[in-house]
Amino acid sequence: MAGTDIPQPQSDADFYKEIQPALDALEVTREEYSWKLYRRMIIGGVAGLIVAAAFAYCAHHAAQGNWMYYGIAAACLFAVGGWVYMPAARYHTDYKNSVLPRIVKLVGLSGYNPHGAIYVDQFEPTGIVPGHDKQFARDLFEGTYKGAGVSFCRLVLKKKNPNLRNNQEETVFSGIALLIVIPQNKFSGHTVVRRKNLLNELADINAFKATGVAGLQTVHLEDPAFEKRYQVFSTDQVESRVLLDPAMMERIDAVSGTYFSQGINISYDRGNRVFALIPTARELFNAPSVWSPTDIDAVERMKKEVQSILSLVDQLDLYKPPVVGTA
């Protein structure tokens, strides 16, 4: 049976038994990288001063208005900075590649890809993906959790803003993208729950209508407090009210309040998919500083972050797997 191939969660005792040798090895690596970083900071500081002084001298004697020297100086300083920081970046990579796969094993998921992504362009018809020009994603976790397929990753969306100087980019979303696939079709319609733009609700509604999602209409619920914080749209008014019963609205509020202070956007697609964008106040799954001794505290933090995302599946209460052995 296919179900027998699903990874099972690891016990805490086995996890801590396996993680300690990995942390011991990482501490040796950390000491090597921190020493390299220290030496490069000294060399890079001296090199940076020399480069800056040299190009300042050249620029001073160059023809007036010739900015080429400043551009070359900036490029050189940027290259020096990247060279200096490289040992810290390699330590962060080594740390995550060592610790996060073990956390994946602990919680019963099947894979972690530091460069993996959920490409949100495919979910633009859901109506919860903000307009963007660029997507940056990493730290993809995948697997089966309590019978449902689960994928989530860190995600940043950026868009050029014509109102900013030189049409600069601004971040329109930073947080977690979460996809849940239920084993059986559950939704006959398409329902969207969006946190409101409290500063400009009319602009928020018009922006949503501009996505061109066919057949979605505003749903008015019986909870005025919930409607102050969220907009609900659906192609099936009856199903949306059944789906967003008082208990579900409380769970959505609990998700927003307990884990992520900036709300949550959810799309219940026709069939069996739920897609959510969860803004977060800080970046998750970050490795500790190369200057900090390797200990269990950072592992505990990363473990809680992964478990908090999985607990969203519990909070939303979308699927209850059959109990083995029941009639």
Q: Given this model, what pLDDT does residue 177 score?
A: 93
Between 7-21, 129-143, 198-212, 254-268, the lowest mean confidence (pLDDT) is in: 198-212
**Could you tell me the pLDDT band of residue 1, with boundaries at 50, 70 and 90?**
very low
Q: Given this model, what pLDDT does residue 4 score?
A: 47
**For residues 317 and 243, what is the distance between their CA atoms, to the nearest angstrom?**
11
pTM: 0.83
For residue 107, CA distances in Å to 6, 10, 35, 154 come to 12, 7, 35, 18
Q: Which stretches of the chain are DSSP H helices?
A: 12-61, 68-107, 201-209, 224-229, 237-243, 246-258, 296-316
**For residues 245 and 221, what is the distance between their CA atoms, to the nearest angstrom?**
9
More confident residue, 270 or 135: 135
Measured N-to-C along each axis, helices 68-107 and 12-61 cross at an angle, to the nearest 10 degrees, of 180
Q: Given this model, what pLDDT does residue 199 score?
A: 38
For residue 179, CA distances in Å to 10, 188, 218 come to 23, 18, 24
- In percent, how much of the chain has pLDDT > 90? 33
Contact 99, 302 (CB under 8 A): yes
**For residues 84 and 153, what is the distance between their CA atoms, to the nearest angstrom?**
29
Nearest to 286 by CA among 157, 96, 141: 96
Q: Given this model, what pLDDT does residue 214 score?
A: 66
Give per-residue pLDDT as tens, 76-132.
878 888 999 999 999 999 999 999 999 999 999 999 999 999 988 888 878 788 888
Contact 145, 317 (CB under 8 A): no
**Residue 242: pLDDT over 60:** yes
**Looking at the DSSP assignment, which residues form a beta bridge with residue 268?**
191, 274
Q: Given this model, what pLDDT does residue 185 score?
A: 83
CA-based end-to-end distance of the chain = 19
**Residue 151: pLDDT over 90:** yes
Q: Given this model, what pLDDT does residue 109 score?
A: 92
Q: Given this model, what pLDDT does residue 74 score?
A: 75
**For residues 53 and 305, what is the distance between their CA atoms, to the nearest angstrom?**
46
Mean pLDDT calculated for residue range 224-240: 88
Average pLDDT, the chain: 82
Nearest to 277 by CA among 137, 129, 138: 129
User: Which of 49-58, 117-126, 159-168, 191-200 has the highest mean predicted lDDT (pLDDT)?
Assistant: 117-126
Mean pLDDT calculated for residue range 293-301: 91
**For residues 249 and 230, what is the distance between their CA atoms, to the nearest angstrom?**
10
Q: Given this model, what pLDDT does residue 315 score?
A: 73
Q: Given this model, what pLDDT does residue 21 score?
A: 93
In a 3-state reduction of DSSP, which class is residue 92? helix
Q: Given this model, what pLDDT does residue 75 score?
A: 80
Give per-residue pLDDT as tens, 23-61.
999 999 999 999 999 999 999 888 888 877 777 766 665
Q: Given this model, what pLDDT does residue 326 score?
A: 47
